[in-house]
Amino acid sequence: MKLVDSFGRRINYLRLSVTDRCNLRCRYCMPAGGVEKLGHGDILSYEELFRIARAAVTIGVEKIRITGGEPLVRKGIVAFLERVAAIPGLRQLVLTTNGLLLPEMAADLRAAGVQRLNISLDSLKAETFRAITRTGDVQRVLAGIDAARAAGFPPPKINMVVMRGVNDDEVVEFARLTIDRPYTVRYIEYMPATREENWQQLCIPAHEILGRITAVYELEPVEKGAMAGPSRDFRIRGAAGTIGVISAVSGHFCNECNRIRVTSTGTAKSCLFSDEGLDLKPFLGGDDPAPLEDALRRLVECKPARHGMDAEKAEHTAFSMAKIGG
Ligand SMILES: Nc1nc2c(ncn2[C@@H]2O[C@H](COP(=O)(O)OP(=O)(O)OP(=O)(O)O)[C@@H](O)[C@H]2O)c(=O)[nH]1
Ligand SMILES: C[S@@+](CC[C@H](N)C(=O)[O-])C[C@H]1O[C@@H](n2cnc3c(N)ncnc32)[C@H](O)[C@@H]1O
Ligand code: SF4
Ligand code: SF4
């Protein structure tokens, strides 16, 4: 079944957040003290999350990305993933992680049926990494990337949020990683989710990021895979891997948007930057899945054309990305 919104966009991708908790405190994602703690009663149970995943697949979703907070910190995640992977009609189950727990968990994730990992890594320098994440050890993420390979995962997509004056001196070095390694390195425009003061100064537009790389390397465009996310992809001529840019602020990809989101508290969002959400909790009880499926269809019908943000102004109310899942 095809799910199409009022702008003719095919919606086949659900980002499902399983927790708002995290073992890092990235400065672009949450305040220093973390997000305010939700009670266990506020977070959906795995059974409820599973119902949402199954209803989404019934109405036309083919790809589910599990996200958070940090999805791997929630107890019982492997058994949940195994159940989701077995939903008939689901073609891709993928996960976005900060990588810290992969040394312990990569083999189990692979066995559960997760097909691919996107791993966030904003700096290769210990000090810069710690400053951005406020607490993290970059060596643990690198060990996580190795563990994913050892567990048999395809080469990861590595997500780097580029911030002027913070880690932008590493843009070319990240591209260089792809020459010998088959990774996909994706440069993400810093988004003013939390609306921190002077955010405009942190944001580097995708064309500037690409310009810095093309000053050193020749890039050729690469075709996107089916059900791909918003990244525009390239390859350094002759390289093993690829690079991509996600121009999240300029919003050039909104006209191809293929996704909806559900937070760990059961709020469905038709756009990452929508201030409104649809509470799915009233539709999660009972044996009949039809009311939940109808609610998700209504969400798709009211999906906006694009976000209301550019490099100078942001209209949304401040939020923590960890609460929505990015
Ligand atoms: N503005 C905007 N940013 C997005 C959207 N989807 C993902 N992002 C951002 O893109 C970055 C990478 O997201 P991922 O979780 O790796 O997902 P993806 O880019 O869809 O990944 P693939 O499905 O592997 O292509 C994160 O910073 C997200 O917040 C979106 O719909 N709109
Ligand atoms: C919210 S995190 C959740 C998954 C996991 N904890 C991780 O970091 O990969 C999902 C993605 O959102 C990105 N993200 C969070 N805040 C962002 C911001 N303000 N601008 C751009 N990307 C952001 C992260 O870098 C990460 O790649
Ligand atoms: S970006 Fe991911 S790892 Fe960093 S604080 Fe947010 S949820 Fe945690
Ligand atoms: S900002 Fe909203 S409309 Fe644009 S790609 Fe992201 S979710 Fe889709």
Helices marked H in the chain — which ranges? 46-59, 77-85, 102-112, 126-133, 138-150, 171-180, 199-202, 206-214, 290-301, 321-324
pLDDT tens-place string over residues 17-59: 999 999 999 999 998 887 777 777 799 999 999 999 999 999 9
For 138, the token pair is 């970059």
Ligand with the closest atom to the CA of 68 = 2
Rounded to the nearest angstrom, the distance between the alpha carbon of 189 and the centre of ligand 2 is: 11
Q: Is the pLDDT of residue 236 over 70?
A: yes
pLDDT value of residue 251: 67
Q: Average of pLDDT values for 226-255? A: 91
Query: In the beta sheet, which residues pair with residue 187?
Result: 160, 245
> Which residues neighbour 24 within 8 Å (Cβ) at sequence distance 6 or greater?
70, 98, 100, 133, 134, 135, 136
Q: Which residues line ligand 1 (CB under 6 A)?
A: 65, 67, 96, 118, 157, 159, 188, 228-231, 246, 248, 257, 259, 272, 326
**Atom 29 of ligand 1, residue of closest alpha carbon:** 326
Rounded to the nearest angstrom, the distance between the alpha carbon of 132 and the centre of ligand 2 is: 12
CA distance 51 to 29: 28
Amino acid at 224: K
- Per-residue confidence at 311, pLDDT binned at 50, 70, 90? confident
Determine, yes or no, domain membership for 59.
yes
pLDDT value of residue 160: 98
Kindly give the pairing relationship between strand 116-120 and strand 219-221: unpaired
CA distance 190 to 28: 8
* Number of Cα atoms under 13 Å in the Cβ half of residue 135: 12
Ligand 4 lined by 254 (C-beta under 6 Å): yes
For 71, the token pair is 């999805």
Rounded to the nearest angstrom, the distance between the alpha carbon of 248 and the centre of ligand 4 is: 8
Kindly give the pairing relationship between strand 219-221 and strand 184-189: unpaired
Determine, yes or no, domain membership for 190.
yes
Query: In the beta sheet, which residues pair with residue 235?
Result: 220
193 and 28 Cβ atoms separated by less than 8 Å:
yes
Rounded to the nearest angstrom, the distance between the alpha carbon of 1 and the centre of ligand 2 is: 31
Q: How many domains does the chain have?
A: 1
Amino acid at 178: T
pLDDT value of residue 308: 83
pLDDT tens-place string over residues 195-218: 888 899 999 999 999 999 999 999
Q: Which residues line ligand 3 (CB under 6 A)?
A: 22, 24-26, 29-30, 68-70, 98, 120, 321-322
Q: What phi and psi, each to the nearest 5 degrees, are found at residue 131?
A: -65, -40
CA distance 43 to 19: 7
- Per-residue confidence at 309, pLDDT binned at 50, 70, 90? confident
**Atom 9 of ligand 2, residue of closest alpha carbon:** 97
CA distance 192 to 119: 21
Determine, yes or no, domain membership for 1.
no
CA distance 259 to 187: 20
Q: Which domain holds residue 23?
A: 13-324
Query: Tell me, what CATH number does 163's domain have?
Result: 3.20.20.70
Determine, yes or no, domain membership for 2.
no
153 and 116 Cβ atoms separated by less than 8 Å:
yes
117 and 156 Cβ atoms separated by less than 8 Å:
yes
Ligand with the closest atom to the CA of 64 = 1
Rounded to the nearest angstrom, the distance between the alpha carbon of 273 and the centre of ligand 4 is: 7
What is the DSSP secondary-structure string of 77-121?
A: HHHHHHHHHTSTT--EEEEEE-STTHHHHHHHHHHHT--EEEEE-
pLDDT tens-place string over residues 263-289: 999 999 999 999 999 999 999 999 999
Determine, yes or no, domain membership for 61.
yes
- Per-residue confidence at 176, pLDDT binned at 50, 70, 90? very high
CA distance 220 to 279: 44
Determine, yes or no, domain membership for 278.
yes
Determine, yes or no, domain membership for 223.
yes
Helix, strand or coil, per DSSP, at residue 157: strand
Q: Is the ipTM of this complex over 0.95?
A: yes
Going by C-alpha positions, the residue among 202, 191, 12 that lies closest to residue 92 is: 12
25 and 100 Cβ atoms separated by less than 8 Å:
no
Q: Tell me the best of 19, 22, 320 to mutate to test the pocket of ligand 3, counting ligand atoms within 8 Å of each CB and taking the most.
A: 22
* Number of Cα atoms under 13 Å in the Cβ half of residue 216: 13
Which residue has tokens 């009311």? 291
Ligand 4 lined by 325 (C-beta under 6 Å): no
For 5, the token pair is 């919104």
Determine, yes or no, domain membership for 259.
yes
Which residue has tokens 């990861």? 156
> Which residues neighbour 75 within 8 Å (Cβ) at sequence distance 6 or greater?
none
Rounded to the nearest angstrom, the distance between the alpha carbon of 3 and the centre of ligand 3 is: 30
